[in-house]
Structure 1
Amino acid sequence: MELRNISTFLKVAGTQNISKAADQLGYSQSAVTVQIRQLEKELGTQLFERIGKRITLTERGVEFTTYANEIMKLTNQALTFANAEREMEGTLRIGGVESVSTAILPEIIHCFHKQYPKIKFVLKSGTTEELMEMARQNEIDLLYTLDRKICKSEWKCAAEKEDKIVFVTCYRQEKNHHRMVPIEELIQKPFILTEMGAAYQYELERLLAGYGLEVIPILETGNTDTIIQLLKQGMGYSFLPEFTVKDALEQKTLQQVYTNLPQVVMYSQLFYHHSKWVTPQMQKFTELVAAR
């Protein structure tokens, strides 16, 4: 059984596209097809179903990804054990939702870079759904989301943390910092919200709908840093992940606004696709995130 064929199998499984896999591997499409057929012949089972231009894993193919990943992991360890003292090199491609990309990833990447300065980073942003599709197409190695808790066999969760979403405003805006503001009163304030696509905004809209209410923002932007700066200048109120405003709350440039709406909780989760071969740099990065 050739390692090249197993590597090609994992690439096709990740992209679900012969053409894309061939481009990423630097092979012709016919070469990729031959390698897959050789592997299927050796294993005595069909690994992919081919319907038109789409290619998907069979049940046996899904099962084989576990073995293929383990084979490639052990192969990589065998190839690198003699160079254990050498600095880790390579590329790490990470995708994150906007709030995570601006408030969490910079510190983690900085810490990682200090330990492994020869690792090159490629960062991409998008919604959870967009990032998942990028991972399926093998355009990113890891995706860092802030969403409802995701538990699906397609994804391996490497790290998870519960995060509160809170109402905030300029520190001097509310004189009584601990006053419970009725939600009916709060939504009459000028709001600056994230653009559609953030899971926590969908959850806010769902909760408000249960009260027969709706918030109409004076501004929508996908950049949480912009929202925070406008709030500090007294422009209005917002609904943001607590980790994005943690420093501002501690420095008393922003304050939390308490209301009778149920507490919204999301989960920041670091995933990789179940068919993805976990590289050493992926492993070290997930360990760093899990420790935060």
Structure 2
Amino acid sequence: MNLRFVETFLWVARLGSFSAAAERLNTTQAAISNRIATLERDLGIRLFERDVRCVRLTGLGQQAVAKAEELVRVANEFREAVSDPGSLRGSIRIGTIDSIAHAWLPQFIERLWARYPSVAVDLNTDTSLHMAREVAERRIDLALIMGPVIAPDIINLDLCTFACTWLASPKLNLPDRPLTLAEMADHPILAYSRDSIPHHRLLKQLADAGIEDPTIYNSNSLATVIRLAQDGIGVTPLPKVIVREQLTAGTLVALDVTPAFPPLSFHAVYSDHPDNLISAVAARMAQEVAHGFSHAQTDGASW
């Protein structure tokens, strides 16, 4: 029995169509159809009922899913345990966010390449909300985001927590004394993307302080937020660890604001499926890198 055909069966079962499985496995719909037909012929049963819109598991197909997952899991664990990691080929789709990209992502990618030099990395940067959906729908293999993600068969590994502080450009000439949230709201507030975790925390803090109709500029680009803050467009609550260069250069200054902005926690998120073993290994690598990065910081990062 061809193990690749068994893996194909699982992908069709999860995604509900030959075309979606073909996209996920980087092949053609005809190739997927041929693999399933060959597997059904070898087993002497029908695994799927087919119609023009979708495919559905037969009763025997539903019974076969658990056994197929166990078979693929054992095969992948065997491959990981005894093979040379450098000989493994394929790709891993990783989604992350700007906060991690500006912190320890390069060290993680370097370690991943050292272990799996022949595995290609498809890296995308977007919001945590979008990446959470992508990993739950199995459109990406691993997400490094603000989590956790609560969904069936999803694993969350704690990565790190970044303490946040309010920042502003010296151009704003803010007084060198303890400041209030109301004083921050006298300026445009440069915030993370709408509906993100820090955006909702900001709205709650402002509401709790009785601040109505604050001016908030949202962006899903951390580089944009930092640049606007440096140019004096507004103030922003960000992890100090990702603006170390700006603080050292003096283009941003840290402000003493009460109440403090809540810290941000990050997770490695992946699907607990038997054919996702490299993602599980990569998630643990990310955790080790995040640990090392956090412990190396003495200014604004904590574990």
- TM-score, normalized by the shorter chain, greater than 0.5: yes
Distance in 2 separating the partners of 1:288 and 1:189: 41
Show the 5 A alignment for 1:76-91.
Answer: 76-79=76-79, 83-84=83-84, 86-91=86-91
Distance in 2 separating the partners of 1:2 and 1:276: 16
Report what 2:164 is aligned to: 165
Asked whether the 8 Å contact 2:126–2:220 carries over to 1, the reply is no
- Opposite residue 287 of structure 1, the aligned amino acid is R
Report what 1:186 is aligned to: 184
- Opposite residue 126 of structure 1, the aligned amino acid is D
| Cα deviation digits, residues 39-61 of structure 1 (max 9, x gap) | 9998xxx999x9x74869x9x96
- Opposite residue 71 of structure 2, the aligned amino acid is I
Kindly indicate whether residue 141 of structure 2 is the aligned counterpart of residue 144 of structure 1: no
Distance in 1 separating the partners of 2:192 and 2:40: 48
| Cα deviation digits, residues 199-255 of structure 1 (max 9, x gap) | 2112211221233324213x5432212322332344431122344224434555433
Deviation at 1:284, TM superposition (A): 3.7
Asked whether the 8 Å contact 2:89–2:118 carries over to 1, the reply is yes
Paired residues in the alignment total: 283
Report what 2:100 is aligned to: 100
Distance in 2 separating the partners of 1:84 and 1:7: 22
| Cα deviation digits, residues 14-55 of structure 1 (max 9, x gap) | 43444311444445465576589789998xxx999x9x7486
User: What SS does structure 2 have at the residue aligned with 1:264?
Assistant: coil
Q: 2:283 aligns with which of 266, 282, 286?
A: 286
**TM-score (structure 1 length as normaliser):** 0.74
Distance in 2 separating the partners of 1:260 and 1:41: 70
Deviation at 1:289, TM superposition (A): 0.9
User: What SS does structure 1 have at the residue aligned with 2:167?
Assistant: strand
User: What SS does structure 1 have at the residue aligned with 2:163?
Assistant: strand
User: What SS does structure 2 have at the residue aligned with 1:196?
Assistant: coil
Distance in 1 separating the partners of 2:267 and 2:23: 30
- Opposite residue 108 of structure 1, the aligned amino acid is F
Show the 5 A alignment for 1:1-150.
Answer: 3-4=3-4, 6-25=6-25, 26=27, 27-28=29-30, 30-31=33-34, 53=54, 68-79=68-79, 83-84=83-84, 86-147=86-147, 149-150=148-149
Distance in 2 separating the partners of 1:54 and 1:208: 50
Query: Which consecutive residues of structure 1, in runs of 5 or more, have no partner in the other structure?
Result: none
Q: Structure 2 vs 1, CA of residues 69 and 266 (structure 1 numbering), >3 Å: closer, same or farther?
A: farther
Q: 2:258 aligns with which of 257, 260, 271?
A: 260
Deviation at 1:121, TM superposition (A): 1.3
Report what 1:248 is aligned to: 246
- Opposite residue 168 of structure 2, the aligned amino acid is T
Distance in 2 separating the partners of 1:102 and 1:54: 43
In terms of mean alpha carbon deviation, does 263-272 or 253-262 score higher?
Answer: 253-262
User: What SS does structure 1 have at the residue aligned with 2:210?
Assistant: coil
Distance in 2 separating the partners of 1:245 and 1:117: 31
Distance in 1 separating the partners of 2:156 and 2:63: 17
Q: Structure 2 vs 1, CA of residues 109 and 255 (structure 1 numbering), >3 Å: closer, same or farther?
A: same
User: What SS does structure 1 have at the residue aligned with 2:263?
Assistant: strand
Distance in 2 separating the partners of 1:224 and 1:80: 37
User: What SS does structure 1 have at the residue aligned with 2:162?
Assistant: strand
Query: Which consecutive residues of structure 2, in runs of 5 or more, have no partner in the other structure?
Result: 291-303
Report what 1:210 is aligned to: 208
- Opposite residue 155 of structure 1, the aligned amino acid is I
**TM-score (structure 2 length as normaliser):** 0.72
Deviation at 1:274, TM superposition (A): 2.9
When the two chains are superposed, the root-mean-square deviation of aligned CA atoms in Å is: 4.1
